[in-house]
Amino acid sequence: MDSQALTALARPELTPARATAHRGWWARLGAAAFGLLLLYPLAGLFARVGGWQWSGSERAASLASIRVSLELTGWAMLLVVLLGTPMALYIRRAGRRERLIWQAALVTSILLPPLALGMLLSLALRPDGWVGSLLLQLGFVASNSAGAFILTQVYVSMGYYVLGALLAFEAIPAGLEAQAALLGASPAQVFRRVTLPLARLGLAGALSVAWVRAIGEFGAVVITAYYPAGMPVQLWIHLQSFGMRAVMPLLVAFLCAALPIPVLIHLWGRRHA
């Protein structure tokens, strides 16, 4: 018996089950490495920047920005849901060509660079323009106001919500809604009892993405609504005026406001789906 045969007998052969388990461990290791790299920026929270500043004017400005972001983003999300949900239903029921046109419009709104969007909004709603002057006569100030803050957040997040809601509605078998209508349910009852429960998880995901996109917006808001300052703008002011020691407390508050709410919305949607 030659040496190659002896080596083959000495080496244990991998059974299909063992080979699959072996590949599974490597896949888990790669996934774990990917997860660590993905979340590694959070390690910056433990960076040594000196004692955090949370007193005096910095504290007052930070608390005011937290209130502004949570309150005004909440109003923006209410408008996004009230306007975006019917729009997603309309696009779902539209013809193929019209649906493609609407999807292109939504994708265009998503792909607009935030800074460019802020400048375009400021130019389109300038006080000497016919739209801006009409809004001004109605009492809506389109620059450096709560209304401008909400309007900008609606613009930056609407496309994300409508596209997510559209995907949620398209995943519902049309036959279920047709059967409910044949049984005598009105369109409103079909939506409330069939469409909404089946699309709830997708709608929760769409709202979560819209919330994070809106509350974290800086580029467009800094142009249209530098005041009242929300958390992203106030973080920039702190960084320029006081340095990282004043940034860190507001940064932690910003993450606590931006992340848990969409997670809770998603969990709520999964629980009631």
**If pLDDT is split at 50, 70 and 90, which confidence band does 12 have?**
low
Are residues 184 and 256 in contact, defined by beta-carbon separation less than 8 angstroms?
Answer: no
pLDDT for res 113 = 93
Rounded CA-CA distance 233/74 in Å is: 17
Percent of the chain with pLDDT over 90: 48
pLDDT for res 9 = 47
The larger pLDDT score, comparing residue 9 to residue 70, is at: 70
pLDDT for res 11 = 52
Q: What is the b/e burial string over 41-68, where b = at least 16 CB atoms within 10 angstroms of the residue's CB?
A: eeeeeeeeeeebbeeeebeebbeebbeb
- Per the prediction, the chain carries an average pLDDT of 86
Q: Mean pLDDT, to the nearest integer, of 184-195?
A: 84
Q: Mean pLDDT, to the nearest integer, of 205-221?
A: 92
Q: What is the pTM of this model?
A: 0.83
Q: Summarize pLDDT for 65-122 with one digit per residue, the tens.
A: 999 999 999 999 999 999 999 999 999 989 889 999 999 999 999 999 999 999 999 9
pLDDT for res 272 = 60
Is the confidence at residue 165, as pLDDT, over 70? Answer: yes
Is the confidence at residue 143, as pLDDT, over 50? Answer: yes
pLDDT for res 150 = 96
> In sequence order, what are the residues at sequence separation of 6 or more whose Cβ sits closer than 8 angstroms to the Cβ of residue 229?
61, 64, 65, 68, 237
pLDDT for res 108 = 94
Q: What is the b/e burial string over 236-265, where b = at least 16 CB atoms within 10 angstroms of the residue's CB?
A: ebbeeeeeeebbbbbbebbeebbeebbeeb
Please report how many Cα atoms fall inside a 13 Å half-sphere around the Cα of residue 131, on the Cβ side.
7
Tokens 């020691």 label which residue? 245
pLDDT for res 162 = 97
Among the ranges 10-19, 111-120, 128-137, 198-207, which has the highest mean pLDDT value?
A: 111-120
Which range (31-40, 133-142, 262-271) has the least confidence? Answer: 262-271
pLDDT for res 119 = 94
pLDDT for res 219 = 92
Which range (19-33, 59-73, 215-229) has the least confidence? Answer: 19-33
**If pLDDT is split at 50, 70 and 90, which confidence band does 15 have?**
low
**If pLDDT is split at 50, 70 and 90, which confidence band does 172 have?**
confident
